[in-house]
Structure 1
Amino acid sequence: MQALRAAIAKALPKGFEEVVAYGMPGWVVPLSLYPAGYHCTPCAPLPFVGLASQKSHISFYHMGLYADPALLAWFEGECGKRLPKKPDMGKSCVRFKKPEDVPVALLADLCRRMTPKAWIALYEAKLRR
Protein backbone atom coordinates (compact mmCIF):
# COMPACT_ATOMS: atom_id res chain seq x y z
CA MET A 1 0.00 0.00 0.00
CA GLN A 2 2.88 2.39 0.79
CA ALA A 3 4.51 1.70 -2.59
CA LEU A 4 1.22 2.43 -4.35
CA ARG A 5 0.69 5.60 -2.33
CA ALA A 6 4.20 6.82 -3.16
CA ALA A 7 3.78 6.01 -6.87
CA ILE A 8 0.49 7.90 -7.04
CA ALA A 9 1.91 10.90 -5.18
CA LYS A 10 4.83 11.03 -7.61
CA ALA A 11 2.67 10.53 -10.73
CA LEU A 12 -0.14 12.99 -10.09
CA PRO A 13 0.28 16.32 -11.85
CA LYS A 14 1.12 19.37 -9.77
CA GLY A 15 -1.85 20.89 -7.98
CA PHE A 16 -3.45 17.84 -6.40
CA GLU A 17 -3.10 17.68 -2.63
CA GLU A 18 -2.79 14.56 -0.48
CA VAL A 19 -5.32 14.31 2.34
CA VAL A 20 -7.00 11.77 4.56
CA ALA A 21 -10.68 11.84 3.62
CA TYR A 22 -13.49 9.34 4.09
CA GLY A 23 -11.13 7.41 6.37
CA MET A 24 -8.54 6.76 3.65
CA PRO A 25 -5.60 8.45 1.96
CA GLY A 26 -6.61 10.40 -1.08
CA TRP A 27 -5.83 13.28 -3.39
CA VAL A 28 -8.06 16.26 -3.98
CA VAL A 29 -8.21 19.54 -5.82
CA PRO A 30 -7.71 21.93 -2.89
CA LEU A 31 -10.09 24.79 -2.22
CA SER A 32 -7.27 27.19 -3.11
CA LEU A 33 -7.54 25.93 -6.74
CA TYR A 34 -11.27 25.26 -6.77
CA PRO A 35 -13.06 27.38 -4.14
CA ALA A 36 -16.50 26.01 -5.11
CA GLY A 37 -15.51 22.69 -3.53
CA TYR A 38 -17.33 19.39 -3.81
CA HIS A 39 -21.02 19.89 -4.65
CA CYS A 40 -22.16 17.50 -1.88
CA THR A 41 -20.09 19.38 0.72
CA PRO A 42 -19.03 22.78 -0.72
CA CYS A 43 -16.63 23.47 2.15
CA ALA A 44 -14.69 20.28 1.25
CA PRO A 45 -12.10 20.00 -1.54
CA LEU A 46 -12.96 18.20 -4.78
CA PRO A 47 -12.07 14.48 -4.47
CA PHE A 48 -10.07 12.83 -7.24
CA VAL A 49 -8.18 9.66 -6.17
CA GLY A 50 -8.46 7.50 -3.07
CA LEU A 51 -6.97 4.31 -1.64
CA ALA A 52 -8.45 1.91 0.88
CA SER A 53 -7.30 -1.35 2.38
CA GLN A 54 -10.52 -3.27 2.96
CA LYS A 55 -10.97 -6.58 4.75
CA SER A 56 -10.84 -8.65 1.55
CA HIS A 57 -9.25 -6.33 -1.01
CA ILE A 58 -7.38 -3.12 -1.82
CA SER A 59 -9.52 -0.43 -3.44
CA PHE A 60 -8.25 2.26 -5.78
CA TYR A 61 -10.76 5.04 -6.52
CA HIS A 62 -10.29 7.36 -9.50
CA MET A 63 -13.15 9.75 -10.17
CA GLY A 64 -11.90 10.37 -13.71
CA LEU A 65 -12.77 6.77 -14.62
CA TYR A 66 -16.38 7.46 -13.66
CA ALA A 67 -16.61 10.83 -15.39
CA ASP A 68 -14.59 10.33 -18.59
CA PRO A 69 -15.61 7.46 -20.92
CA ALA A 70 -12.44 7.93 -23.03
CA LEU A 71 -10.22 7.57 -19.96
CA LEU A 72 -12.17 4.48 -18.89
CA ALA A 73 -11.75 2.96 -22.37
CA TRP A 74 -8.00 3.68 -22.27
CA PHE A 75 -7.71 2.09 -18.83
CA GLU A 76 -9.68 -1.02 -19.78
CA GLY A 77 -7.54 -1.40 -22.91
CA GLU A 78 -4.34 -1.10 -20.89
CA CYS A 79 -5.64 -3.62 -18.37
CA GLY A 80 -6.16 -6.05 -21.24
CA LYS A 81 -2.57 -5.51 -22.39
CA ARG A 82 -0.81 -5.42 -19.02
CA LEU A 83 -2.78 -7.66 -16.67
CA PRO A 84 -3.27 -11.43 -16.74
CA LYS A 85 -6.98 -11.07 -15.96
CA LYS A 86 -9.67 -8.40 -16.02
CA PRO A 87 -9.75 -6.40 -12.77
CA ASP A 88 -12.77 -6.24 -10.48
CA MET A 89 -14.18 -2.77 -11.23
CA GLY A 90 -17.01 -0.56 -10.03
CA LYS A 91 -17.93 2.87 -11.44
CA SER A 92 -14.85 4.63 -10.09
CA CYS A 93 -13.28 1.79 -8.14
CA VAL A 94 -10.79 -0.92 -9.03
CA ARG A 95 -10.41 -3.72 -6.47
CA PHE A 96 -7.45 -6.07 -6.04
CA LYS A 97 -7.49 -9.19 -3.84
CA LYS A 98 -3.78 -9.27 -3.02
CA PRO A 99 -1.12 -6.56 -2.76
CA GLU A 100 0.98 -8.36 -5.40
CA ASP A 101 -1.96 -8.08 -7.84
CA VAL A 102 -1.91 -4.26 -7.76
CA PRO A 103 -0.50 -2.92 -11.08
CA VAL A 104 1.36 0.02 -9.55
CA ALA A 105 2.87 1.23 -12.86
CA LEU A 106 -0.50 1.13 -14.64
CA LEU A 107 -2.25 3.05 -11.85
CA ALA A 108 0.56 5.62 -11.86
CA ASP A 109 0.14 5.99 -15.64
CA LEU A 110 -3.58 6.52 -15.11
CA CYS A 111 -2.91 9.20 -12.50
CA ARG A 112 -0.62 11.12 -14.89
CA ARG A 113 -3.39 11.48 -17.48
CA MET A 114 -5.49 14.20 -15.83
CA THR A 115 -4.47 17.58 -14.41
CA PRO A 116 -6.44 19.41 -11.73
CA LYS A 117 -7.61 21.90 -14.37
CA ALA A 118 -8.86 19.08 -16.64
CA TRP A 119 -10.58 17.36 -13.70
CA ILE A 120 -12.34 20.59 -12.68
CA ALA A 121 -13.56 21.18 -16.25
CA LEU A 122 -14.84 17.61 -16.57
CA TYR A 123 -16.45 17.72 -13.12
CA GLU A 124 -18.25 20.99 -13.88
CA ALA A 125 -19.43 19.72 -17.28
CA LYS A 126 -20.88 16.56 -15.69
CA LEU A 127 -22.40 18.52 -12.80
CA ARG A 128 -24.34 20.83 -15.16
CA ARG A 129 -26.17 17.91 -16.79
Structure 2
Amino acid sequence: MQDIAQLIGKEQVAKVVSQFYQAIRQHETLKEPFLIVADWPHHEEILTHFWWVTLGGERYLDYTYQVAPKHMQAGFTPALLVDWLALFEQTISQCLPADLATPWLERAHRIGKSLVLLHQFHADNQVAIDS
Protein backbone atom coordinates (compact mmCIF):
# COMPACT_ATOMS: atom_id res chain seq x y z
CA MET A 1 0.00 0.00 0.00
CA GLN A 2 1.17 3.44 -0.81
CA ASP A 3 2.24 5.50 2.19
CA ILE A 4 -0.21 8.36 1.96
CA ALA A 5 0.30 9.38 5.57
CA GLN A 6 3.23 11.60 4.62
CA LEU A 7 1.27 13.15 1.76
CA ILE A 8 -1.67 13.97 4.03
CA GLY A 9 0.42 14.95 7.05
CA LYS A 10 -0.15 14.23 10.72
CA GLU A 11 -1.77 17.61 11.34
CA GLN A 12 -4.35 17.04 8.61
CA VAL A 13 -5.09 13.50 9.87
CA ALA A 14 -5.75 15.01 13.30
CA LYS A 15 -8.03 17.64 11.73
CA VAL A 16 -10.10 15.01 9.92
CA VAL A 17 -10.39 12.92 13.09
CA SER A 18 -11.40 15.94 15.17
CA GLN A 19 -14.02 17.18 12.70
CA PHE A 20 -15.38 13.68 12.20
CA TYR A 21 -15.87 12.99 15.89
CA GLN A 22 -17.44 16.40 16.42
CA ALA A 23 -19.97 15.38 13.76
CA ILE A 24 -20.39 11.93 15.37
CA ARG A 25 -21.43 13.54 18.65
CA GLN A 26 -24.27 15.33 16.82
CA HIS A 27 -25.33 12.47 14.53
CA GLU A 28 -28.77 10.97 15.11
CA THR A 29 -27.76 7.29 15.00
CA LEU A 30 -24.03 7.41 15.70
CA LYS A 31 -23.90 9.53 18.84
CA GLU A 32 -25.38 6.84 21.10
CA PRO A 33 -22.68 4.17 20.64
CA PHE A 34 -20.06 6.83 21.30
CA LEU A 35 -21.54 7.81 24.65
CA ILE A 36 -19.11 5.30 26.16
CA VAL A 37 -16.22 7.65 25.33
CA ALA A 38 -15.30 9.39 28.59
CA ASP A 39 -12.23 11.31 27.39
CA TRP A 40 -12.71 12.75 23.90
CA PRO A 41 -9.25 14.37 23.59
CA HIS A 42 -7.61 11.03 24.44
CA HIS A 43 -9.96 9.15 22.11
CA GLU A 44 -9.14 11.50 19.24
CA GLU A 45 -5.41 11.25 19.98
CA ILE A 46 -5.60 7.44 19.81
CA LEU A 47 -7.67 7.52 16.62
CA THR A 48 -5.36 10.05 14.99
CA HIS A 49 -2.49 7.65 15.69
CA PHE A 50 -4.54 4.68 14.45
CA TRP A 51 -5.28 6.37 11.13
CA TRP A 52 -1.73 7.72 10.83
CA VAL A 53 -0.33 4.19 11.15
CA THR A 54 -3.08 2.68 8.97
CA LEU A 55 -2.18 5.18 6.25
CA GLY A 56 1.48 4.16 6.40
CA GLY A 57 2.93 6.54 8.99
CA GLU A 58 5.35 5.43 11.67
CA ARG A 59 4.09 4.61 15.15
CA TYR A 60 4.68 7.33 17.70
CA LEU A 61 2.48 5.92 20.49
CA ASP A 62 2.86 2.64 22.34
CA TYR A 63 -0.72 1.49 21.98
CA THR A 64 -2.23 -1.87 21.09
CA TYR A 65 -5.36 -1.50 19.01
CA GLN A 66 -8.32 -3.77 19.62
CA VAL A 67 -10.48 -2.64 16.74
CA ALA A 68 -12.92 -5.56 16.66
CA PRO A 69 -13.49 -5.96 20.43
CA LYS A 70 -13.92 -2.20 20.91
CA HIS A 71 -16.50 -2.00 18.13
CA MET A 72 -18.41 -5.04 19.38
CA GLN A 73 -18.40 -3.58 22.91
CA ALA A 74 -19.85 -0.31 21.56
CA GLY A 75 -22.73 -2.13 19.85
CA PHE A 76 -21.44 -2.10 16.27
CA THR A 77 -23.94 -3.14 13.60
CA PRO A 78 -23.69 -3.16 9.81
CA ALA A 79 -26.43 -0.48 9.72
CA LEU A 80 -24.33 1.81 11.90
CA LEU A 81 -21.37 1.21 9.60
CA VAL A 82 -23.38 2.56 6.65
CA ASP A 83 -24.03 5.78 8.59
CA TRP A 84 -20.42 5.91 9.85
CA LEU A 85 -18.97 5.55 6.34
CA ALA A 86 -21.34 8.16 4.88
CA LEU A 87 -20.41 10.68 7.57
CA PHE A 88 -16.70 9.84 7.28
CA GLU A 89 -16.82 10.30 3.51
CA GLN A 90 -18.59 13.64 3.91
CA THR A 91 -16.05 14.83 6.49
CA ILE A 92 -12.96 13.65 4.66
CA SER A 93 -14.19 15.15 1.38
CA GLN A 94 -14.49 18.53 3.09
CA CYS A 95 -10.95 18.30 4.46
CA LEU A 96 -8.90 16.67 1.70
CA PRO A 97 -8.60 16.70 -2.07
CA ALA A 98 -9.94 13.58 -3.80
CA ASP A 99 -6.48 12.14 -4.53
CA LEU A 100 -5.82 11.93 -0.77
CA ALA A 101 -9.37 11.25 0.40
CA THR A 102 -9.93 8.26 -1.90
CA PRO A 103 -7.14 5.98 -0.61
CA TRP A 104 -8.10 6.81 2.99
CA LEU A 105 -11.74 5.98 2.27
CA GLU A 106 -10.69 2.71 0.63
CA ARG A 107 -8.92 1.71 3.85
CA ALA A 108 -11.97 2.69 5.91
CA HIS A 109 -14.19 0.54 3.68
CA ARG A 110 -11.83 -2.46 4.04
CA ILE A 111 -11.85 -2.14 7.82
CA GLY A 112 -15.64 -1.84 7.69
CA LYS A 113 -15.95 -5.03 5.63
CA SER A 114 -13.87 -6.87 8.23
CA LEU A 115 -16.12 -5.61 11.02
CA VAL A 116 -19.24 -6.68 9.12
CA LEU A 117 -17.80 -10.18 8.64
CA LEU A 118 -16.94 -10.37 12.33
CA HIS A 119 -20.44 -9.18 13.26
CA GLN A 120 -21.96 -11.87 11.03
CA PHE A 121 -19.67 -14.52 12.52
CA HIS A 122 -20.76 -13.60 16.05
CA ALA A 123 -24.43 -13.49 15.02
CA ASP A 124 -24.16 -16.93 13.38
CA ASN A 125 -22.45 -18.37 16.45
CA GLN A 126 -25.10 -16.90 18.73
CA VAL A 127 -27.84 -18.54 16.64
CA ALA A 128 -25.99 -21.86 16.86
CA ILE A 129 -25.66 -21.52 20.65
CA ASP A 130 -29.32 -20.55 21.05
CA SER A 131 -30.50 -23.49 18.89
Q: Same fold (TM over 0.5)?
A: no
| Structure having the larger proportion of residues in helix | 2
Q: Larger Rg: 1 or 2? A: 2
Per the normalisation by structure 1, the TM-score is: 0.30
| Structure having the larger proportion of residues in strand | 1
Per the normalisation by structure 2, the TM-score is: 0.30
Q: Which has the higher contact order (CA 8 A, sep 6+)?
A: 2
